[in-house]
Amino acid sequence: MQIVELRRAGHCANVSLLTGMHRLRRKVFKDRLDWSVAATGDLETDYLDTQDATYLVVADRGCVLGCVRLLPTTGPNMLADTFSELLDDAAAPRSNLVAESSRFCVDTELTTTAKGGLRRATFMLFAAMLEWADARGLTSIATVTDLRMERILRRAGWSLQRLGKPRRIGSTVAVAGLLPVENCALEAIRRNGDLAVPVLPIDVPLPMAA
């Protein structure tokens, strides 16, 4: 397995991985979790899949096993524009030092388990998120997640700093929070997931869109 960083601006070179990512998102969020997400055929996309989006994908021989979307908080994002009620009347993060993660998912049918019962692909994505954010000088990653994923993050070694109380949204109890970009979190995830360093290919980082 390897981590591949994708941007829509260069999608022509990675169209098969992008398609596989949207297919996995349909499988997880629409078919398995029954979230109220839009699907076209066997693909799930939404209004945030734009040129500003960066995707980290776990791939194995062309098959997408996991993915996460990263967006600048200075533009449209899920916490500010869709789930602001989770902030308890506080303002959503809007900073060049904070990105947002969304659409995190792993194919549990095709991935192996690492330590603590978590999938190896899950550890790889967490580590890649931290490496990606650190390379850009970010201080934290904002996210909206459910209580189950909050527990998974904690078990992996990355604690969510809540921005509001959990609330039921549809079939899910959701919570908003910040994931700090810290070396101690990355070291814990690498140790708990038995990962080589680094998981994200070293490259010159592109800045987040303003």
Q: In the predicted model, what is the mean pLDDT of residues 77-97?
A: 94
Range of the domain at 177: 2-193
Nearest in space to 126 (alpha carbons), one of 203, 115, 10: 115
Query: Which residues lie below 8 Å from residue 141, measured CB to CB, with a gap of 6+?
Result: 70, 98, 99, 100, 101, 129, 133, 178, 179, 181
Question: Which CATH number belongs to the domain containing residue 112 in this structure?
Answer: 3.40.630.30
pLDDT in tens, 143-179: 999 999 999 999 999 999 999 999 998 888 999 999 9
In a domain, 37, yes or no: yes
How far apart, in whole angstroms, are the C-alpha atoms of residue 75 and residue 174? 22
Report residue 1's pLDDT band, with 50, 70 and 90 as the boundaries: confident
In a domain, 64, yes or no: yes
pLDDT in tens, 35-84: 667 777 788 889 999 989 999 999 998 899 999 999 999 999 999 999 99
Residue carrying the six token digits 């070396």: 183
Taking the mean position of all CA atoms in its chain, how far away is CA 66? 9
In a domain, 168, yes or no: yes
Q: What is the mean pLDDT of the chain?
A: 89
DSSP letter assigned to residue 33: S
Given a cut of 60, is residue 206 above it in pLDDT? no
In a domain, 210, yes or no: no
In a domain, 199, yes or no: no
pLDDT for the residue 204: 45
In a domain, 205, yes or no: no
In a domain, 94, yes or no: yes
In a domain, 202, yes or no: no
Specify the number of domains making up the chain.
1
Full DSSP string of 149-201: HHHHHHHHT---EESS--EEETTEEEEEEEEE--HHHHHHHHHHHT--S-SSP
Percent of the chain with pLDDT over 70: 91
Report residue 9's pLDDT band, with 50, 70 and 90 as the boundaries: low
